[in-house]
A and B are shown apart, each in its own frame.
Chain A
Amino acid sequence: MVSGSLECPVRGEMLSSVVPAKATGGNKDLELTSMDLAMKLHYIKGAYFFQPEAAQGLSIHDLKEPMFQCLELYYAASGRIRRSESGRPFIKCNDGGVRIVEAQCDKSVDEWLAMARNNDHMLAHDQVLGPDLGFSPLVFVQFTRFKCGGVSVGLSWAHVLGDAFSASNFLNLWGQIMAGKQVPLQPNSPAHNISQFPISISRKPFSLKKVDPVGDYWLTPNNSKMVTHSFRITAKQLHYYITTYCIHDPNKISDFEIILAMIWQSLSKAREDSGPNIVTICSNNSADKMAMLPSNGMTLSTVEADFCVSKVEIGELAKLIAEKRMDENGLIGELIKGDEVRSDFIVYGANLTFVNLEGMNVYGIEMKGLKPVCVNYMMNGVGEEGTVVVLPSNEKDGGNNGKMVTITLPQHLLLKLNNRLQIDWNIVI
């Protein structure tokens, strides 16, 4: 994923490894669930920006040292992928460790945040599992020093290990240890991704798409160049949209649903009504904030529109999203077992996918008692239909109800979408 600018502001990368402080012992092997295997070609990137006051006087050793204790508790992140005799991948907890990247940036934090936000992916290492699958780290943490003395913490996290909530938990744990706080050890709750809904019809899930075998190089095959763009929507704006467009039942529509509807309609218009008619929604309602084992605990559901999306009232679309979601976890579980564990699938980008990270505690991390000035998450290795990530944003007045929206689409489509969003909804890109 390359941005439009020619020169790369992030440079001087030095790689090293950090391992658990104590031997994990017994080589505890972690089994991968069907949901884990469905997500294996995707990667999560997170960027946390800290102002100079938060990073002053902290050397790279001060940043690395808490990671050793963190990995002792969260030992799954240090593991590596192995295949069992049947060919089914699993995680071997062999203390391989996480990779740490040290980099520099010629801009200050404020300059970076003021720019058009399509370069955040540079602050986290471009991660792919493979071709040496058994020796590829599952997690990269990049510490980028800015010209002003600020620091960004860039997380690259293989989705097969866990979802974005697990990734955020991991970094929050690191932050707590760095701050010297006591970390209570919680017993790990089992993953809750088996669907509660009975499977009435047995069919293939719409949210999943099978791709050609990728062997040991786990990257989504794509024909187009995918680019990312992020923007903020304030709480005031969201309130305005909901009250204006969802006159009938404003209390039933959530922020996420209205954003989903707006982007769906704008993209339909940008694509001149050639789609998409079906979107995938990825949300996590039961995220355990204290779990020491990562998991892919999301619920995947789809919404299908049998009318023309670009022409309908936005309120109607939002109502459809709220009411006609179809949970597909059970179908996915049915599909990925037996021989299909060796097949390769994509979820993000199989259809236009909306990832709901509203409940994520991204501002729970502190450096020297100060919260990050901005946090962004995006998905890497997504299919061509694109992905939209919605996470909480902090606002200048301290409110936390705004949203940060990050869109990943093929380059030509993203430009058109940005224009439409400005025209349709007055969103400042």
Chain B
Amino acid sequence: MPHFSNSVKLKYVKLGYQYLVNHILTLTLIPVMAGVLIEVLRLGPAEIVNLWNSLHFDLVQILCSCFFIIFVATVYFMSKPRSIYLVDYACYKPPVTCRVPFATFMEHSRLNLSNNPKSVEFQMRILERSGLGEETCLPPAIHYIPPTPTMEAARGEAEIVIFSAMDSLFKKTGLKPKDIDILIVNCSLFSPTPSLSAMVINKYKLRSNIKSFNLSGMGCSAGLISIDLARDLLQVHPNSNAVVVSTEIITPNYYQGKERAMLLPNCLFRMGGAAILLSNRRSERRRAKYRLVHVVRTHKGADDKAYRCVFEEEDKEGNVGISLSKDLMAIAGEALKSNITTIGPLVLPASEQLLFLLTLIGRKIFNPKWKPYIPDFKQAFEHFCIHAGGRAVIDELQKNLQLSAEHVEASRMTLHRFGNTSSSSLWYEMSYIEAKGRMKKGDRVWQIAFGSGFKCNSAVWKCNRTIKTPKDGPWADCIHRYPVHIPEVVKL
């Protein structure tokens, strides 16, 4: 079996190379220190004292050196960015009264679009291949035939989702509403006046000097944009708590027309929301779950095709919907490449970076036909949370980053159980990994989200303490059933 032994040999060579390059400092330092130690032992203590005296240090020089060292240390610690801790987060679990099985969704579709059997056929095909399960949820207004999306119903949904998630967060962290210094709410498609952040402030009677922000229109990657904003604010304001609420309100955005490009979101988007507590207080260091390491944002909006690929517009009959262009996957791939080019040097171990550099040089100088080296991100991260935008997105990323089925399991199972909950899906995925008991201290997590614009945003977290399997949370009653096998096509 020559292939087998070759691949085994290759594996060991690779391992050896990685160990060598990643620990190069240690490997060079040890022989040097050993040399010094041997020399010291050889010289003997009397010789060392002689050596010290011959250097002619006087008090002033010693003091100046000490002050210099202290000064450098102080400057270093003052200018180090504050550590941002994720104390805890809570995900919204919709009640069973919002459940939408496949059969019901298709039946409503047939009744609502009774004059357009081709559109109904299209929706059925999408649903069969969507990767969604039978337990995803839509808000009450959408259960009517035809749907009744009033503004009151939209506010009602916002209140239920956001307040539930916040109540859950308060309970988990013991946070008092008066202790919230920064509040950021992101919801892309529902933006009433007063804003959703004002709604939260009103409900929980938050302080009058709170710094509140409401981000709308920024798509499914807005969750990480909010985290980035919170991080920047927490650099400026010491000793503060920031609450980030990520959600998407479905009620006003259910497309009621028949254009196929606009029917796709109806099949995929579902109810969901998450509330996250971030802090820069040193007292939270012990109990925080994660520490924020990097946030990398990439915007491809300068390119016209990327700008138009997820576009909200009216169809010929005046129904408003979100039109998805056919090049969506290609543009997503481009955005991803851009993002990982930036994040690569920040997170990849030296061995991967060196290989990438060598291949790059080789392609430029020797032979452009060499295959570009795709760095192995599995070495940089233990867990991956890929925004559950749809089955195609997860498949594409799994292929591009060469991830195994277990790495994308959190994303696939979140898509199955909760559907595409937009900006909060990353948090359901984190919750899945914790519920499976896989999150250990020191693990690094990579959250990747795509959104309209076209944007690709990444966040890197480091797990601060091993997380025990939670008894509550959105997966508590069903985690034992997961992972499930999701067939390519579900027969309706």
Contact = CB atoms under 8 A, between A and B. Distances in A.
B107 A64 contact: no
A135 B492 CA distance: 11
B129 interface: no
A96 B97 contact: no
B113 to A, nearest CB: 12
B145 A94 contact: no
A15 B144 CA distance: 6
Interface string B124-160: 0000000001110000100111001000000000000
Contacts of A95: 101-104, 134
Interface in A1-24: 14-19, 21-23
A61 B107 contact: no
Contacts of B110: 132, 135
Contacts of B148: 14
B97 A17 contact: no
B281 interface: no
B99 A135 contact: no
B143 A17 contact: yes
A95 B140 CA distance: 17
B143 A16 contact: yes
B149 to A, nearest CB: 13
Contacts, number: 53
B96 interface: yes
A96 B144 contact: no
Interface in B348-401: none
A95 B106 CA distance: 12
B134 A23 contact: yes
A19 B104 contact: yes
A15 B104 CA distance: 13
Contacts of B145: 15-17
B96 A96 contact: no
Nearest to A96: B103
Interface string A263-307: 000000000000000000000000000000000000000000000
Interface in B28-81: none
A94 B99 CA distance: 13
A21 B107 contact: no
Contacts of B224: none
A194 B256 CA distance: 50
Contact of A61 (B97, B106, B108, B144): B97
Contact of B106 (A14, A22, A135): A135
A19 B99 contact: yes
Interface string A54-85: 00000001001100100000000000100000
B161 interface: no
A14 B144 contact: yes
A97 interface: yes
B100 interface: yes
A80 B103 contact: yes
A135 B110 CA distance: 9
A29 to B, nearest CB: 13
A137 B106 CA distance: 13
B96 A94 contact: no
Nearest to A136: B107
B234 to A, nearest CB: 41
Nearest to A99: B145
A21 B99 contact: yes
A96 B111 CA distance: 13
> Size class of B's contact patch?
20 to 34
Contacts of A65: 97
Contacts of B133: 23
A94 B105 CA distance: 12
A417 B145 CA distance: 41
A97 B96 contact: no
B99 A17 contact: no
Contacts of B101: 19, 23, 94-97
Contacts of B107: 17, 96, 135, 137
A22 B492 CA distance: 18
Contacts of A16: 143-145
A94 B108 contact: no
Interface in A162-214: none
Contact of B96 (A14, A21, A80, A132): A21
B134 A17 contact: no
Contacts of A17: 104, 107-108, 143, 145
A19 B104 CA distance: 8
A396 B300 CA distance: 77
B96 A68 contact: yes
Contacts of B96: 21-22, 68
Given A16-B145, A17-B143, A23-B134, A64 B104 contact: no
Most chain A CB neighbours (cut-off 10 Å) among B96, B107, B140: B107
Nearest to A15: B145
B477 to A, nearest CB: 10
Contacts of A18: 97
A17 B133 CA distance: 18
A97 B144 CA distance: 13
A121 to B, nearest CB: 22
A23 B136 CA distance: 11
Nearest to B143: A16
Given A21-B96, A132-B110, A96 B143 contact: no
A61 B143 CA distance: 12
B97 A23 contact: no
B35 to A, nearest CB: 68
A64 B97 contact: yes
Contacts of B102: 94-95
A22 B97 CA distance: 10
A96 B104 contact: yes
Nearest to A17: B104
Nearest to B147: A16
A23 B106 contact: no
A135 B113 CA distance: 14
Nearest to A21: B96
Contacts of B104: 17, 19, 95-97
A21 B135 CA distance: 9
30 contacts: A14-B148, A15-B144, A16-B143, A16-B144, A16-B145, A17-B104, A17-B143, A17-B145, A18-B97, A19-B99, A19-B100, A19-B104, A21-B99, A22-B96, A23-B134, A61-B97, A61-B140, A65-B97, A68-B96, A68-B97, A94-B101, A94-B492, A95-B101, A95-B102, A95-B103, A96-B104, A97-B101, A132-B110, A135-B106, A135-B110
Closest 3 CB pairs of A and B: A96-B103, A95-B101, A21-B96
Interface of B: 96-97, 99-104, 106-108, 110, 133-135, 140, 143-145, 148, 492
Given A61-B97, A94-B101, A95-B102, 14 more contacts: A14-B144, A15-B144, A15-B145, A16-B143, A17-B107, A17-B143, A19-B104, A22-B96, A80-B103, A95-B103, A97-B101, A132-B110, A135-B107, A137-B107
